[in-house]
């Protein structure tokens, strides 16, 4: 994909309020399609796109969920950047959703899991997500002033969460105490959980890595 098309795509997604993670995934999807044919994506046909998705499913054995994410990015690109009409799903039928209940931990198991995390920043990151019921994208976008610690409120403000809506979630006294310890040590400024250089928030990949590493710890 040419830099011009890539920039157009990123500009469109930024103006539409797509998350950083979604933007990276969508760009990667179109880039993979172009690389497969060694052609600029705006020169491809619907049949070629259909064949590529079929190839991912049948030959590469890529999971349906991953393929569906790729397809969403490709559809977004052709509909909004290439201005194709009636894009549809390029002949790929939607797969019925299989609902599975998540594995839940008891309160004691959660406490032992948190206790096993020795890094203060990581522990507070996990506790904030768990206590506030936050998605990773919402968690890393928090700023210090989003923690409303007045005894009459005790809330966490989530800006531009799912559906680009603002909302509030509960702030427990236990989490507030941890956040105060964290603030005294790290003194975060712009972002509650800053990344490298402190000018940007912690990346989605870095936060997810903390979650994945914690899951591997024995309970």
Give the per-residue SS3 of the chain.
CCHHHHHHHHHHHHHCCCCHHHHHHHHHHHHHHHHHHCCCHHHCCHHHHHHHHHHHHHCCCCCHHHHHHHHHHHHHHHHHCCCCCCCCCCCCCCCCCCCCCCCCCCHHHHHHHHHCCCCHHHHHHHHHHHHHCCCHHHHHCCCHHHEECCCCCCEEEECCCHHHCCEEEECCHHHHHHHHHHHHHHCCCCCCCECCCCCCECCHHHHHHHHHHHHCCCC
Bridge-based pairing of strands 155-158 and 167-170 is: antiparallel
Question: Is 182:124 a contact under the CB 8 Å cutoff?
Answer: yes
Answer whether 0.85 is exceeded by the pTM: no
User: So what's the pLDDT on residue 95?
Assistant: 75
Q: Which residues are CB-contacts of 99 (< 8 A; sequence separation ≥ 6)? A: none
* Average confidence score pLDDT of the chain: 89
User: So what's the pLDDT on residue 196?
Assistant: 82
Q: Where in the chain is the domain with CATH 1.10.443.10?
A: 107-215
HSE of 138, CA atoms in CB hemisphere, 13 A: 23
- The series of mean pLDDT values per 10 residues for the chain, 219 residues long, is 92 90 93 96 95 94 90 96 91 75 76 87 94 91 95 90 79 95 94 87 90 78
Output the CATH code of domain 107-215: 1.10.443.10
Class of domain 3-80: mainly alpha
How far from chain centre, in Å, is Cα 96? Answer: 23
User: So what's the pLDDT on residue 165?
Assistant: 79
User: So what's the pLDDT on residue 79?
Assistant: 95
106-155 pLDDT, tens digit per residue, is 888 888 888 888 899 999 999 999 999 999 989 999 999 999 999 999 99
> What whole-number distance in Å separates Cα of residue 217 and Cα of residue 161?
29
Q: Where in the chain is the domain with CATH 1.10.150.130?
A: 3-80
User: So what's the pLDDT on residue 112?
Assistant: 83
DSSP lists the bridge partners of residue 168 as 157
């Amino acid at each position: 994909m040419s830099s011009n098309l890539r920039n157009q795509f990123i500009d469109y997604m930024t103006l539409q309020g797509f998350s950083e993670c979604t933007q990276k995934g969508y760009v990667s999807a179109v880039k993979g399609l172009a690389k497969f044919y060694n052609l600029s994506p705006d020169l491809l046909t619907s049949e070629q796109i259909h064949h590529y998705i079929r190839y991912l499913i049948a030959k590469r054995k890529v999971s349906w969920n991953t393929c569906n994410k790729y397809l969403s990015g490709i559809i977004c690109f052709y509909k909004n950047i290439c201005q194709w009409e009636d894009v549809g799903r390029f002949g790929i039928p939607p797969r019925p959703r299989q609902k599975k209940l998540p594995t839940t931990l008891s309160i004691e198991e959660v406490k032992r899991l948190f206790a096993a995390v020795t890094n203060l920043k990581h522990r507070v990151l996990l506790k904030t997500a768990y206590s506030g019921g936050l998605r990773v994208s919402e968690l890393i976008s928090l700023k210090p002033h989003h923690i409303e610690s007045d005894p009459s409120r005790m809330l966490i403000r989530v800006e531009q969460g799912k559906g680009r809506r603002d909302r509030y979630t509960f702030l427990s006294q236990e989490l507030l105490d941890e956040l105060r310890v964290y603030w005294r040590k790290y003194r975060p400024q712009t972002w509650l959980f800053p990344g490298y250089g402190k000018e940007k928030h912690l990346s989605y990949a870095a936060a997810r890595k903390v979650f994945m590493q914690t899951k591997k710890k024995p309970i």
